[in-house]
Amino acid sequence: MKYLLVLLLAGFTSGAQIQKEQLNLMPWPQSIVLNDGSFTLTKNFKVNITGNPNPRIFGGVTRFLRRLDGRTGIFFEQGFIAKLNEVPTAELQINCTKSGKIALYEDESYHLDISQNKITINATSDLGALHGLETLLQLLQNNGTSFYFPNSQISDFPRFTWRGLMIDAARHFQPVDVIKRNIDALAAMKMNVFHWHLVDDQGWRIEMKKHTKLIELASDGLYYTQEEIKSIVKYADERGILIVPEIDVPGHGSAILTAYPEIGSKVTTLTGGTSEKNIQGTAIATYGIERNAGIFSPTLDPSNPKTYQLLSEFFDEVCPLFPGSYFHIGGDENEGKDWDANPKIQEFKKKNKLANNHELQTYFTMQLVPMLKKHGKQLMGWEEILTKNMSKEAIIHSWRGPNEGVMAGQSLVDAVKKGYKTVLSNGYYIDLMYPVESHYLNDPMPKGADLSAEEKERILGGEATMWTELATPATIDSRVWPRTAAIAERLWSAETVIDVPNMRKRLDVVSFRLEELGLTHIRNKAVILRNIANNQSIKSLSEFSNVCEPLKGYKRNKGGTEYQMYSPLTLFADACTPDAKDALAFDDAVSQYLANKSPENKAKVAAYLNKWIAVNKGLNELSSNAPLVQPILPLAKKLNDISEQLLLVLDNKSTLKAEDLQKLVEECDSKDYADVELAVYKSLKKLI
Ligand code: ACM
């Protein structure tokens, strides 16, 4: 009787019709119809699977149950799901027609139907069903006593087939658990490609059994064992994620050449002593693992047959670790300095009628095509590989923009017009700390470009790009998430889903759900701040971090030499994130006050100003026993000073001249404050 009453109450209170705008779905589905009523969860909730899915669905559904368990505290009776049609009477019925392939163009669609007593997910492949389960988790609602799903019908499918995240494991090495939890997050956001940047100037990260020098001399001991790589590949497969490995050549070659200097392009004159002679009678230059950030000259020698022999052997060992059909060979940022300075390479160019370094690089890249094809892999490279004689099968990864002196995404249009498939990363460089809005509104389909249907078809999708010069295992999640969820929506949802405030509202909830999944982007802020505070209260630091953002673009790490690849990055800037939490809210308060100077609106602005005065006081107190707080004090003081003055202005008690006030606020915008910028600067200026 009591049980029945609870059910009735739950049914009654959850009956208040929920509106679409209240749902925190991301990526937003292609079609959603909300109906009256809801499905209330009980301990007896069970799942049944039918059809011909890949067995990955069993683990996927079991994980779904445990996540729902964790969130609701119901602890369902059903434990592990191991086979088809185990519980024919179950309330959640999943049917898949076929086994999903971890490949592009697979059918990832699903239909989710929720009614009073029954939920069904119908999908062509298990990959679609996994997406449907993520949507179902996001649909979960609650009242004061129970958890329920609103009755609804959702039909959903991705707009683009390539929805990726790249993680650079060559700069700051990112251990297995970092990769796995980010793969979990990709799956939760219905993304399907993990591009793993494994080799760069700063290290070779793949265990090599036949070419052990690469890990002995070029990894600092920081690499993935082949067993670890296999376990990550399996983990990704279980979650529907394709892995695209990258070995960046011929530029970015410091690590490879540290192990194999004999295939480098640098010319060294014989000075007697220790230099080794190579077969041409010139000395072999020495190389070292790069510690800084930037573009460096070590480049593989395209005129040396040994280069191709070794690369072919590397691919023979690395390719079988990755079952996917794509291999990224980098190809970016080769400035050709060592090529230009090497007479033997100049001679080679002349002999092979290669007019310039672009043609020479194309010659080089074309040698790799059959090496990869042998292993069933298609070559992909950064946009610099797009040259006259490049194989049409190569996938062009568009990344450059105004920072590199070209038009944003120009290579994407060039590539599709010339018949290449392409993936967009320009505009998705999440390491640069730009606000979520900038990435969200960056569409892979270029506006205003006159593209035929066939050309548009060649735009496969996009990739969030996480370079790790300034990200460690402790901070990387906060650089990737939650902004990558907004990129996921851009790549999955309809082109018309572009309401930024609505996205922000949903993203707040999604961010919290990603933490629930194991991502550390929220919690690690406190870890860093406790270190800065020397284990004193982090309240003032935390409040200050809500109005500070790390320097954007390439402004931090000046000249690439301020921080090294072994720098732990535990500074205040590392605790701060883009889209500082209080910045938008303060801006709203300022706008409201300027539109209507009511006492309530004034009080809202004043509350922030008073808070920042208290923050300054708190940080000063903290600093007497926390040296790491010292670098933050100047900016906190500036914010304090302008806040004090603005409080007087609000009360018409200021004696400062307008220009002095202006000066005071502008001092908050100097670029030399502990690698952060004040995110409320523009709003303060507006207020003045
Ligand atoms: C790149 O950012 N160098 C691809």
CATH code: domain of residue 493: 3.20.20.80
Give the residue among 262, 258, 267, 443 at the shortest CA–CA distance from 346: 267
Residue where a domain stops, chosen among 156, 186, 209: 156
Q: What is the DSSP letter of 168?
A: E
Residues 477 and 545 in one domain: no
Residues 311 and 457 in one domain: yes
Residue where a domain stops, chosen among 494, 523, 552: 523
Residues 134 and 190 in one domain: no
**Distance between Cα 405 and ligand 1 center (Å):** 13
Q: How far apart are CA 168 and CA 464, in angstroms?
A: 11
Does residue 204 line the site of ligand 1, with CB under 6 A?
no
Residues 530 and 517 in one domain: no
**Distance between Cα 333 and ligand 1 center (Å):** 7
Name beta bridge partners: 112: 121, 154
pLDDT at residue 449 in the model: 87
What pTM does this model have? 0.96
Q: How far apart are CA 392 and CA 397, in angstroms?
A: 13
535 C-beta neighbours (distance < 10 Å), count = 10
Residue 287 has which token pair? 């190389």
- Write out the residue range of the structural domain in which residue 498 sits: 162-523
Q: How far apart are CA 154 and CA 148, in angstroms?
A: 16
Residues 438 and 550 in one domain: no
Residues 541 and 502 in one domain: no
Does residue 399 line the site of ligand 1, with CB under 6 A?
yes
Q: Residue 466 to residues 172, 207, 233, 470: CA-CA distances in angstroms?
A: 11, 22, 19, 10
Does residue 382 line the site of ligand 1, with CB under 6 A?
yes
Contacts 24+ apart (CB under 8 A), 601-607: 602/650, 605/646, 605/650, 605/687, 606/647, 606/650
**Distance between Cα 32 and ligand 1 center (Å):** 38
Looking from the CA of residue 429, the nearest atom of ligand 1 is 2
Residues 683 and 548 in one domain: yes
Does residue 437 line the site of ligand 1, with CB under 6 A?
no
pLDDT at residue 397 in the model: 98
Q: How many domains does one find in the chain?
A: 3
**Which tens digit of pLDDT belongs to each residue from 77-112?**
999 999 999 999 999 999 999 999 999 999 999 999
Number of helices (H), then strands (E), belonging to the chain: the values are 25, 20
Residue 323 has which token pair? 């079952």
Pick out the chain residues at pLDDT < 70.
1-16, 269-282, 671
Residues tagged active-site: 333
Residue 276 has which token pair? 């080794």
Residue 262 has which token pair? 């004999």
Contacts 24+ apart (CB under 8 A), 515-520: 516/67, 516/70, 516/71, 517/67, 517/181, 517/184, 517/185, 517/188, 518/181, 518/184, 519/181, 519/182, 519/184, 519/185, 519/477, 519/481, 520/181, 520/474, 520/477, 520/478
182 and 480 Cβ atoms separated by less than 8 Å: yes
Residues 514 and 529 in one domain: no
Measure CA 563 to chain center. 21
pLDDT at residue 664 in the model: 94
Non-local CB neighbours of 64 within 8 Å, separated by 6+ positions: 47, 133, 136, 137
Does residue 333 line the site of ligand 1, with CB under 6 A?
yes
Residues 471 and 379 in one domain: yes
Name beta bridge partners: 380: 328, 395
Residues 167 and 101 in one domain: no
We report the CATH number of the domain holding residue 147 as 3.30.379.10
Q: How far apart are CA 241 and CA 197, in angstroms?
A: 16
Residues 519 and 530 in one domain: no
State the burial class of residue 220 (Cβ atoms within 10 Å of its Cβ: 0-12, 13-18, 19+).
Answer: middle
Looking from the CA of residue 467, the nearest atom of ligand 1 is 2
Residues 506 and 373 in one domain: yes
Non-local CB neighbours of 521 within 8 Å, separated by 6+ positions: 477, 478, 480, 481, 482, 511, 514, 515, 577
Residue where a domain stops, chosen among 156, 188, 209: 156
pLDDT at residue 1 in the model: 42
